[in-house]
């Protein structure tokens, strides 16, 4: 299945329509007792899987407000990982016994999302992804300092659990080292070039002054102020003792392991084809991150075509602003002229905040339903900023106890152009990641398994689509900002070319850097960071343009079919009201919505 190319748009649409008609007819022919029985079985299975996942992942329990396991971290021993895979195999077998045709439309979504979740987890186990738990920009060593923000401790009990988790880090790090040693033995290691700064990432947590540790400074001042002074002093002392006795020694042990064992064993070639089962693994990642059956070759050519279209639009803007010279010269001018860059981190953050304020006020023009969960703006932590990209979004807790956060990179300001900031902020916050994920967190009719779904093609496709939505609410009036939007789009189109080039076609890292340099307006620093990201996270970069192209195409179909009766607010609400779902399922839902709109209006 993974080797198949996607059908043409016409045949693909016919396939979905036929699937929808068939499933509707099949559902309509099912006796009520069969539908009820199948729905009950699925709900029971979903509940069992959800209970299993919460037990296996204490941080997931934290994120959804479940009280279990708050004083521990996950058990990532090899035996525990194997047992989880065996249990998921049993869950998948049980799921296959539930006939999809006997389910109502909402339950069919739950069935599909659970199937993909379980199959993806089992594929990860088969490819031994657990033996590569870190890369250059993610992993336990990078995410663990965010624990105080994830837990957001407020009460004495919360802080007791927080301290217990700090102490448990000792055990957890030893398990990660065991996994990584297994990766060395199996030939499943990261490329050496992208891990060059990993040692410094770890060593940044080896603090002499415990009061400067992120495990103290990331605890909110508001939380500490909730407690009496004497009680907080006692808790602060317990946190510092755990940092000194458990956290710092564990990080030191991991630093020693990286220096003496892991980094010397890292591989030279950058593509997944150099790994055992590498080509099969990459095909799995392509399907995982795009949610459709499409070949690396077709994705590669799609990126090339999109870049040609985008460059033509860039030429128009270049001429509009009166620049005399080639497009490449114009891009170099934008990269190097100081007037396009903030001079201080404060200026960059304030400019982004003003963009978000403007966007907030225009959202009702595009959406009938807006989320209640708020979001904030933060700087990317200094210990990871040099290795990561321009920005990222941290989702809210699904129980509403913690808002979402748009993290902006203020490191190396000469690589953070202001002319891209409108598109970047709309992508990461509103109407992009925050709006979509906050709405998903608040959906009441979804099972928790479905509410926690995270299909990258939908999530990142929506965020890239949201950049273009800025035109509908008054952004990009400045042609340089509009050029910035196009440069961001070219960045995502280039990902299709570069990711497949690196992991399927045998490109070198330098070839990828050269292509990004020739086809985007990104700074040299950002280009290197981006290429290294694609090397360490195969396939993920394919999701953005794939998802955006699908959502844009689905919208055009709805506009053309409904004409003057098309309502953009209703369309967007329909897109978002089922949470993150695979692209074929999204198209099926919108086709059904179009039919409903036509029937209501005809009546």
In sequence order, what DSSP letters do the residues of 137-199 get, joined into one string? Answer: S-SHHHHGGGHHHHH---SHHHHHHHHHHHHHHHHHHHHHHHHHHHHHHHT---BGGGGTTHH
Q: Which domain holds residue 497?
A: 300-549
Looking at the structure, tell me whether residues 71 and 176 fall in a common domain.
no
Looking at the structure, tell me whether residues 262 and 345 fall in a common domain.
no
Looking at the structure, tell me whether residues 404 and 530 fall in a common domain.
yes
pLDDT at position 19 is 39
Q: Are 216 and 145 in contact (CB under 8 A)?
A: no
- Residue 588 in any domain: the answer is no
Looking at the structure, tell me whether residues 146 and 117 fall in a common domain.
no
- Residue 246 in any domain: the answer is yes
Q: 303-337 pLDDT, tens per residue?
A: 999 999 999 999 999 999 999 999 999 999 999 99
Q: Please enumerate in sequence order all residues whose Cβ is within 8 A of that of 237, keeping only pairs 6 or more positions apart, or say none.
A: none
- Residue 283 in any domain: the answer is no
Measure the CA angle with vertex 385, ends 382 and 391; round to 5°.
Answer: 125
Among the candidates 501, 516, 549, a domain finishes at 549
pLDDT at position 105 is 86
- Residue 555 in any domain: the answer is no
Looking at the structure, tell me whether residues 201 and 326 fall in a common domain.
no
- Residue 293 in any domain: the answer is no
Q: What CATH number is attached to the domain comprising 68? A: 1.20.58
pLDDT at position 237 is 95
- Residue 591 in any domain: the answer is no
Looking at the structure, tell me whether residues 103 and 152 fall in a common domain.
no
Looking at the structure, tell me whether residues 441 and 464 fall in a common domain.
yes
Among the candidates 268, 290, 324, a domain finishes at 268
Rounded Cα–Cα distance for residues 340 and 89 (Å): 54
Looking at the structure, tell me whether residues 357 and 479 fall in a common domain.
yes
Looking at the structure, tell me whether residues 436 and 489 fall in a common domain.
yes
Q: Are 30 and 98 in contact (CB under 8 A)?
A: no
**Lookup: tokens for 274:** 């150099």
Q: Are 561 and 598 in contact (CB under 8 A)?
A: yes
- Residue 324 in any domain: the answer is yes
Q: Please enumerate in sequence order all residues whose Cβ is within 8 A of that of 398, keeping only pairs 6 or more positions apart, or say none.
A: 63, 64, 65, 441, 448, 451, 452
pLDDT at position 8 is 34
Number of domains in the chain: 3
- Residue 172 in any domain: the answer is yes
Low-confidence residues of the chain: pLDDT under 50: 1-28
Looking at the structure, tell me whether residues 252 and 373 fall in a common domain.
no
Looking at the structure, tell me whether residues 122 and 146 fall in a common domain.
no
Q: 574-593 pLDDT, tens per residue?
A: 999 999 999 999 999 999 99
Looking at the structure, tell me whether residues 334 and 209 fall in a common domain.
no
Rounded Cα–Cα distance for residues 549 and 306 (Å): 10
- First CA to last CA across the chain, in angstroms? 43
Among the candidates 127, 158, 183, a domain finishes at 127
How buried is residue 360: exposed, middle or buried, by Cβ count under 10 Å (0-12/13-18/19+)? middle
């Amino acid at each position: 299945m993974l080797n198949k190319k996607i059908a043409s748009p016409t045949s693909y649409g016919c396939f979905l329509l036929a699937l929808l008609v068939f499933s509707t007819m099949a559902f309509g022919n099912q006796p009520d007792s069969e539908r009820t029985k199948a729905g009950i079985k699925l709900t029971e299975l979903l509940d069992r899987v959800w209970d299993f996942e919460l037990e296996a992942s204490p941080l997931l329990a934290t994120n959804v407000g479940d009280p279990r396991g708050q004083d521990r971290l996950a058990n990532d021993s090899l035996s525990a990982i194997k047992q989880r895979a065996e249990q998921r195999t049993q869950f998948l077998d049980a799921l296959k016994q539930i006939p999809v045709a006997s389910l109502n439309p909402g339950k069919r979504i739950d069935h599909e999302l659970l199937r993909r979740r379980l199959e993806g987890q089992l594929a990860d186990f088969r490819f031994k992804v657990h033996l590569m738990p870190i890369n250059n920009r993610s992993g336990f060593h990078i995410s663990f300092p965010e624990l105080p923000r994830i837990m957001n401790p407020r009460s004495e009990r919360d802080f007791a659990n927080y301290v217990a988790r700090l102490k448990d880090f000792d055990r957890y790090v030893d398990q990660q080292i065991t996994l990584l040693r297994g990766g060395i033995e199996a030939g499943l290691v990261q490329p050496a070039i992208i891990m060059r700064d990993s040692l410094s990432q770890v060593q940044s947590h080896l603090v002499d002054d415990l009061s400067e540790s992120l495990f103290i400074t990331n605890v909110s001042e508001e939380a500490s102020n909730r407690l009496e002074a004497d009680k907080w002093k006692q808790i602060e002392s317990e946190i510092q003792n755990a940092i000194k006795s458990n956290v710092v020694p564990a990080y030191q042990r991991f630093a020693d392991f990286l220096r003496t064992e892991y980094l010397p064993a890292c591989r030279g070639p950058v593509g997944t084809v150099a790994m055992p089962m590498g080509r099969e693994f990459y095909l799995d990642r392509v399907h995982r991150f795009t949610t459709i059956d499409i070949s690396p070759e077709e994705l590669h050519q799609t990126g090339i075509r999109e870049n040609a279209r985008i460059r033509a639009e860039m030429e128009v803007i270049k001429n509009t602003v009166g620049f005399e010279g080639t497009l490449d010269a114009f891009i170099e001018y934008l990269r190097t002229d100081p007037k396009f860059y903030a001079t201080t981190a404060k200026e960059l953050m304030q400019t982004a905040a003003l963009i978000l304020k403007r966007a907030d006020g225009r959202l009702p023009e595009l959406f009938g339903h807006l989320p209640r969960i708020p979001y904030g703006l933060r700087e990317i932590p200094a210990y990871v900023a040099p290795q990561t990209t321009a920005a990222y979004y941290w989702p809210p807790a699904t129980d509403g106890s913690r808002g979402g956060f748009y993290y902006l990179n203020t490191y190396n300001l000469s690589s953070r152009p202001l002319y891209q900031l409108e598109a970047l902020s709309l992508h990461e916050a509103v109407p992009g990641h925050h709006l979509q994920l906050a709405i998903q967190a608040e959906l009441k009719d979804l099972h928790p398994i479905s509410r926690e779904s995270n299909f990258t093609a939908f999530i990142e496709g929506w965020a890239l689509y949201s950049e273009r939505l800025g035109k509908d609410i008054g952004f990009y009036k400045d042609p340089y900002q509009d050029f910035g939007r196009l440069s961001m789009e070219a960045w995502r189109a280039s990902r299709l070319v570069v990711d497949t080039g690196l992991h399927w076609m045998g490109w070198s890292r330098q070839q990828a850097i050269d292509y990004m340099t020739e086809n985007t307006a990104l700074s040299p620093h950002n280009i290197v960071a981006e290429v290294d990201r694609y090397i360490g996270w195969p396939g993920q970069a394919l999701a953005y343009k794939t998802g955006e192209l699908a959502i844009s195409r689905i919208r055009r179909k709805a506009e053309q079919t409904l004409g003057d009766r098309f309502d953009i607010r209703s369309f967007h609400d329909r897109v978002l009201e089922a949470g993150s779902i695979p692209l074929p399922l999204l198209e099926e839902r919108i086709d059904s919505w179009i039919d409903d709109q036509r029937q209501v209006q005809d009546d």
